[in-house]
A and B are shown apart, each in its own frame.
Chain A
């Protein structure tokens, strides 16, 4: 009963370092999303994908990259980490974007120092 799995759960990065947040889902969902949530704020859409091989920018894509080589996996790459990228990152998936429930992973807490 895994659902959406994100790794790592916690990470501290130094300014300028790069890393990849992993996300995998076992529900055969076509749609996957990456959001970031700053303290006390809402969720901002970074990137999303409507199926394998298809990705598109969300509200705040700068400083991030994604790929979708399989239906299950949707990794988020941070290049040249900056303090402004300190946030909680949520991966999510849904069967479609029109009303179906979005299932979220447990979140990844990232601090850039």
Chain B
């Protein structure tokens, strides 16, 4: 089967850095994506990793280690608007895209 594990909640302070981890178990792994979802809204794409290493997009970075079946999303210079849920999702060679249960990020002023 397929499974993804990520923390249910993370709390950080405005201006700080936070890391959200994701471990996965799947067959036919192709890549790992991250999505942001604000309350009442639809998920929106943040980043994608197919190869090992770090991908940086502005304040957001994402890391993948295929050998460890592990990835993380790094958010820097946290802003109050970053309060949201963050989902990792695996892309598989069978064309399925499976999401984790999400991590709720709380940001304190």
Which residues in B have their C-beta under 8 angstroms from that of A97?
Answer: 30, 91-92, 95-97
State whether the Cβ of A74 lies closer than 8 Å to any Cβ in chain B.
no
State whether the Cβ of B100 lies closer than 8 Å to any Cβ in chain A.
yes
Known: A42-B87, A42-B102. Is A98-B30 also a contact (CB below 8 A)?
yes
- Min C-beta distance of A32 to chain B, whole Å: 11
Measured CB to CB, the nearest residue on chain B to A105 is B42
How many residue pairs between the two chains, A and B, have CB atoms under 8 Å in the bound complex?
61
Which residues in A have their C-beta under 8 angstroms from that of B42?
Answer: 90, 104-107
State whether the Cβ of B66 lies closer than 8 Å to any Cβ in chain A.
no
Closest 3 CB pairs of A and B: A42-B101, A104-B42, A43-B99
- A selection of 12 A-B contacts at a CB cut-off of 8 Å is A41-B101, A43-B43, A48-B95, A56-B95, A97-B91, A98-B30, A98-B50, A98-B91, A99-B48, A101-B45, A104-B43, A107-B42
Q: Roughly how many angstroms separate A113 CA and B27 CA in the complex, as a whole number?
A: 38
The one of A98, A104, A107 in contact with B44, judged by C-beta atoms closer than 8 angstroms, is A104
The range of chain A's interface size is 20 to 34
Q: Roughly how many angstroms separate A101 CA and B42 CA in the complex, as a whole number?
A: 14
Interface residues of B in 51-81 (CB under 8 A from A): none
State whether the Cβ of A75 lies closer than 8 Å to any Cβ in chain B.
no
| Cβ contacts B7-35/A at 8 Å (1 or 0 each) | 00000000000000000000000110101
Q: Roughly how many angstroms separate A90 CA and B44 CA in the complex, as a whole number?
A: 12
